[in-house]
Amino acid sequence: MILPSSYLLFLFTLILGSIISISSSSWFGGWVGLELNMMSFIPLLTLKFNSYFSEAALKYFLIQALGSALFIYASCASISFSHLMYTFILFSLLLKLAAAPFHFWFPQVSEGLNWPQMFILSTIQKLAPMVLLSYLSMNTMTIKIIMTSAILSAMIGAWGGLNLTPLRKILAFSSINHLSWILIAISISDIFWLTYFVFYSLISLSVMMTFYKIQAFTLSSIIQSNQNTASYALIMSLNLLSLGGLPPLTGFIPKWMIMQIMINMNLFFILFFLLLSALITLYFYLRIAIPFLILSTPTMNFNMKLNNSSPFSSLLLIFMSFNLYGILLPFYSLLI
């Protein structure tokens, strides 16, 4: 099992906290759900009692506690400065989401996690703050702050992932970059960011499940894995390129949708930064994929464990095949 059965209670309360925040009719209920979500995730970080997991749990707790304190301060500020209340709530949610310029903690925490916890931190833990953030997208000032944070997240997520070898840090900066697209979608409409979030979650699940299967945490550990067959290298590379949004793979579909909406709304300045950052992120995905493909060929492979590779599980193949659905998109358009 990925998580011991004794920790299923914490996983249940974690999801329950997100549901409470999403379904709450007041900011207080949203704060309660976020606190329950945070306190349920910390035991999941400390599955193994070593310094890396403990350090990641402590960093996560301190940052989330700071965001919660800022959230509470917003309610106090609303008594005398009502116009600042939503600004402080917005900053606290951006801090919990690890959106730039409050992104500094996310790669540091990710480096001390295992792949299941990394997936929860990148997806489930961000759902409730995103929903609460969408409630603030009715104000002109908050929309401008969200768009500014989206531009910063796009560039920082792209430049931060360059010249890195730890896979968890690379995917952490990739998550920050994808968050920029979600922030823009939040400022436009709920249906667009929910669609993007679902696509990103499924693609990330396929990539992280693969890394978890081979216990890969650096670029060198991927190359030295006992799964270096040509089919495995091809599927893994397609997963990474789909996460980068390369057409016609599945990861391009939500980006294409948001690009069309931004063009219709004349948001060309913001779109330029998003596309530039997407190009840079595609580069460091290629840094993983190209050596992987080259060294998996029989003439270039020096790994003596090549014949000991185990077959893929059916569940892993299902999630991997999701990244190929985008290839069928031209046929969908012909039917329509």
**Residues 18-59 pLDDT 10s:** 999 999 888 889 999 999 999 999 988 877 666 778 888 899
Q: Looking at residue 336, what is its pLDDT?
A: 46
pLDDT band at 227 (very low <50, low <70, confident <90, very high): low
The first and second tokens of residue 313, run together, are 């599980």
- The residues pairing with 218 across neighbouring beta strands, listed in sequence order, are 166
Task: State how far the Cα of 316 lies from the Cα of 156, in Å rounded to an integer.
Answer: 31
| pLDDT above 90: percentage of residues in the chain | 42
- pTM to 2 decimal places: 0.89
Average pLDDT value for residue range 313-327:
65
Average pLDDT value for residue range 85-113:
91
Distance of CA 104 to the CA centre of its chain: 15
Is the predicted pLDDT of residue 230 greater than 70, yes or no?
no
pLDDT band at 308 (very low <50, low <70, confident <90, very high): very low
The first and second tokens of residue 92, run together, are 């606290």
Cβ proximity of 14 and 40 under 8 Å: yes
Instruction: Say which range, 13-17, 54-58, 83-87, 190-194, has the weakest mean pLDDT.
Output: 83-87
pLDDT band at 212 (very low <50, low <70, confident <90, very high): confident
Average pLDDT value for residue range 284-310:
62
The first and second tokens of residue 152, run together, are 């910063």
Average pLDDT value for residue range 162-172:
88
Round the average pLDDT of the chain to a whole number and report it: 83
Kindly calculate the radius of gyration of the chain based on its CA atoms and give it in whole angstroms: 20
Sorted by sequence, the CB contacts under 8 Å of residue 207 that are 6+ apart come out as 171, 239, 240, 243
Task: State how far the Cα of 336 lies from the Cα of 332, in Å rounded to an integer.
Answer: 6
Task: State how far the Cα of 57 lies from the Cα of 51, in Å rounded to an integer.
Answer: 10
Task: State how far the Cα of 156 lies from the Cα of 100, in Å rounded to an integer.
Answer: 7
Task: State how far the Cα of 87 lies from the Cα of 332, in Å rounded to an integer.
Answer: 42
SS3 category, 62: helix
Is the predicted pLDDT of residue 310 greater than 60, yes or no?
no
In terms of C-beta density within 10 A (0-12 exposed, 13-18 middle, 19 or more buried), how is residue 202 classed? middle
Task: State how far the Cα of 110 lies from the Cα of 128, in Å rounded to an integer.
Answer: 19
Average pLDDT value for residue range 113-142:
90
